[in-house]
Amino acid sequence: MARKYQLDKAPRKGASGIDYQKELNEQQYAAVSSAPGPALVIAGAGSGKTRILTYRVAYLLDQGVDPRSLLLLTFTNKAAKEMMERVRELIPMDLSDLWSGTFHSIGSRILRRHADEMGLTRSFSIMDRDDQKSLMNTVVAECDIDTKSRRFPKVDVLISIFSLVENTGVLLEDLLECRYPYFEEWAEEIAQIGEAYTAKKLETNSVDFDDLLILPLRLLKKNKDVCELYQKRFQYLLVDEYQDTNAVQSELIHLLASPQNSVMVVGDDAQSIYSWRGADMDNILSFPHRYPDAETYKIEMNYRSVPEVLALSNAAISANTKQFKKNLIAARSGGSMVPALVALEDPHTQANFIAQRILELRDEGVELKEMAILYRAHHQSLEIQMELTSRGIPFEITSGLRFFEQAHIKDVTAFLRFVTNMRDEVSFKRFCLLLPGIGTATASKLWRLWLKTGLSRNETPPERFSDTMLKFSVPAKAKKDWEQLCYILDELAPGGSYARSSEMITSVLEGVYDEFMRASFENYDNRRQDVEQLIMYAESFDDIVELLGQLSLMSTADGEPTGNKAEKDDEQIVLSSIHQAKGLEWKIVFIIWLTDGMFPNGRVLEAEDLDVFEEERRLFYVALTRSKDELYLTYPQINPKSYTGDVITRPSRFLDDCPEEMLEEWEVGPAW
C-alpha cells in the first residue's frame, strides 16, 4: 500500500492587498469569497459578470491556491484575454501555469498531449472552414452518391448538420425531421457521408473545430488514468456564460470537476438565446439538481441602465415560466425619460422617425457611436439602411453585409440584370454557377454560346430566351435545372417586355432559387425572408431599370460601402441583430419592427412551442437591457408591401407584458 504524503502550501509572496468587501458590492462579494464547492452565479444583465470571475480568481490566489490548479473556461478568446489581463492587474504573481481559454482551446491543449490515444499524432492539423469544406467535398465524391435526379445538400449544410448532431447528441434522423425536413429523403446518404468523413479525418491526421470538444471528452471517458490526471490538477473550475453551453461542454465540465466538484459557473438564464446553434439552457436550470449541495448567488445590482429601462426589462421577462426569478436593481439614478413606444404609419415612416431622432440626439451631444438600432432579423433593417444613406448618416452593420451586398440578393438580382442588359457577362455567369454540374469553365463556354447568337447586342429581350438557350449543350447533371432557368428568363420578360419588378423576383425565387437556397445555406429561412423583403421593396418600382439602379447605389463601389466612404472612424451608428448585440451596450437604443410575425418571429408563433416562445421573449429582454439611457420601441401599423398583400400589423405580444405606466406613447405626426 502506497504511503501518503501531503504537501504544504507554498509560502505566498506579494499578496494583492485587495480589500474585497470594499471593491465589490454585497452580492458580488458573497460569490467571490464563497467556500470551495459547486456554485451557481446568476449574474443579471449589466451586473459585472466579468468582475466576479476576475476577482474570484484573484481571491483564490490570495488564499494560497496554486495557479496550476485553476481552470478558467470562456466562449471567446477575447473574453479569456480580457479576464487574464484584469487578474494580472489585480495580483502580482506569475500566472503562466494557470490554464485559461475557450472550451475549444483547452480541448485542443488536452488533445495535443494525448493525441495517440485517439488515433492521431501530436502534429495533427486543425482544419479551418475552408479546409473542412475541401475534405467534405472529397468525401462526397468518394461516396459516389447519385445527386443528378434530386438536389443534394451542399457541403456547408452537411457540415452544419454533423456539427449539430455532435454537439447536441440528437440522432441524425431526428435532426433532419425537425430542422431539415426537405433532406429526409437523403438520410441514408447523409449518414454514409458522416461516417466516411469521420474516417477521412483520422486517415489524414486532421480534426475539425467540433472535434476539439468531442475528442477530449471521449478521451477522458475512455482513459481513466488521463481523466484522473486532469481531475487532480484542476481543483477549481470557473466557467463563463454557462447558459450558452451545449451538451458536450456541460459533460466536459462535469467530468473535469469530479470528484471534488469545486466548480463555479457564471451566467444568466434570461440571456440564453442560442438554442439554434446547440446551446441548452437546461444546463444552467438543472445545475442545482446536478449538484444538490450547490450554493446559488444572484447578482441583481445593475450598473448599466437607468431605473426606467430596468423596470421595463424586469416586467418583460417576468412572464417566462422557466427561469431563476430575479429583479434587477439600478445603481444609477433616474433617467431623463421613460422608454418610448412609437407607433408609426408604415416601414418608411418608421425609418424617417428614427433617422430624424438620431440627428436630434446628435445635436444634443450624443455621439453616433453611442446609438444603436436593433432588430430581430437582418432584412428588417432595409428601410433603415435606405433612409440613413439618403440622409448621409454613417452607419456600421454588425449583423452582416449591407442588405444589397449579400450573396443571395446578388444571386437573385443577377437574373434581372441580365434580362435588362444582355451584355452583362458577370450576371450571366453568376446565375449559371448556381446550377449543379456547372463550374467556371462551363459558365464561360455558355457565355460564348450566348454571344454567338447575337442577341446580346439587342436593346430589348427576345420573345423567348428559351427558344435560343435550350439549344445550348450543358452537363447532364444540369440539364433539368438549365431548362427551368431558361423558362424563368421567359417569365421575366414575357413577349419581349418586362414583367413587374416584384413579379420578376418572385419568379426567380419560386422557379429556381428557393430550391438552391435550401440545399446551399444553413440559414435558409433567414435568406428566404431577405428575398421576400426584396420583393416588398420592389413593389414601389414600376421600372425595373430604376430598381436596379437604386440597388447599385446601395451596394458597394470600389470596395467601400456607398454612403459610408468618408467615415472610417468610430463616429457611426450601429445596426445590429439582437443576437449580435448580446454583451454590448449603448446610451440610446432603438428596437424596431415590434409586430407579431416580425418580433416575435413568425416561425416562433407557428411553432406553438412554449420553450421556443420563451427563448424569443429572452431575446426581447436582451434587446431591452442593451440601453443605458434612452430606449425607443417602434413598429409600423401598416405593412403596405407585404409579400402576401397589404396588412394591418398587430403590435408585438411582448408589449402586452409591459405595463402602460412604464412606457410613454409618442404620437408622430406627418411631415409638413
Cα gap 264→236, rounded to integer Å: 8
In the block, which residue shows the cell 425537425? Answer: 178
Q: Which of 304, 618, 626, 628 is catalytic?
A: 626
CA atoms within 13 A on the CB side of 510: 11
Is 49 annotated as catalytic? yes
Helix (H) or strand (E) holding 648: strand 647-648
C-alpha grid cell for residue 391?
A: 440622409
**Percent of the chain as helix, strand, coil, to the nearest 5:** 55, 15, 35
CA distances from 321 to 199, 292, 325 (A): 44, 22, 9
Order of strands across the sheet that contains 371-375: 395-397, 573-577, 371-375, 586-591, 627-636, 340-344, 664-667
Neighbour tally for 411: CB within 10 Å: 22
Q: Alpha-carbon distance 39 to 263, whole Å?
A: 6
Would you give the end-to-end CA distance of the chain in angstroms?
A: 93
Contact 468, 509 (CB under 8 A): no
Q: Which of 271, 323, 529, 533 is an active site residue?
A: 271
Nearest Cα neighbor of 369 from 349, 407, 337, 396 is 396
Q: Are 95 and 54 in contact (CB under 8 A)?
A: no
Which residues share a beta bridge with 577? 375
What DSSP string runs through 290-329?
Answer: HSTT-EEEEE-EESSS-HHHHHHHHHHHTT-SSS-----E
> Of residues 241, 383, 387, 616, which has the active-site annotation?
241
CA distance 246 to 243: 9
d(CA 635, CA 650) in angstroms, rounded, equals 9
Q: Which residues, at least 6 apart from 410, have a Cβ–Cβ distance to it below 8 Å? A: 404, 430
- Residues 6 or more apart whose CB falls under 8 angstroms from that of 670 comprise 345
The one-character DSSP state at 140 is H
203 an active-site residue? no
Q: How many CB atoms are located within 10 Å of the residue 204 CB? A: 14
Q: State yes or no: is 240 an active-site residue.
A: yes
Q: How many angstroms separate the CA atoms of 182 and 200, rounded? A: 27
The reply to whether 50 belongs to the active site is: yes
Question: What is the C-alpha separation between 171 and 448, in angstroms, rounded?
Answer: 48
Q: Which residues are catalytic?
A: 49-50, 240-241, 271, 626
